[in-house]
Structure 1
Amino acid sequence: MNHVTGIPRLQMQISSLEDSIGQDNFVRFIDAFVEQLDLSKLGFEVKTVSVRWMPM
């Protein structure tokens, strides 16, 4: 006799937003379009944030 094992209710399960959106969803077109834009030519300044780890 086999025993069925489920997922514990209190265990967090992380899922990807990428997996939740269908391949034919219109938002994928919008994402591809926005990724191709040259933001600096449109007047945006792209900055990177420096994160320093400070031990407590």
Structure 2
Amino acid sequence: MTDRPSPRIVVHPPSADDGRRVQVDATSLGVAYGVADLLEFLREPAWTPKKCG
């Protein structure tokens, strides 16, 4: 077991083009334009705790 806290997922408010920036801790995953985009980002293994932070 690890003492490391769970990653913090942040979905920012919409920008001028209605996209929402998505971050895990300090790592930017990209811009989501809908729920499908957000789910795809979270499905990607790129944000796992070993790769972020």
Relative to total residues, which structure has the larger helix share, 1 or 2? 1
Higher gyration radius (CA): 1
The normalised TM-score by structure 2 is 0.27
Task: Name the structure, 1 or 2, with higher relative contact order (CA <8 Å, separation 6+).
Answer: 2
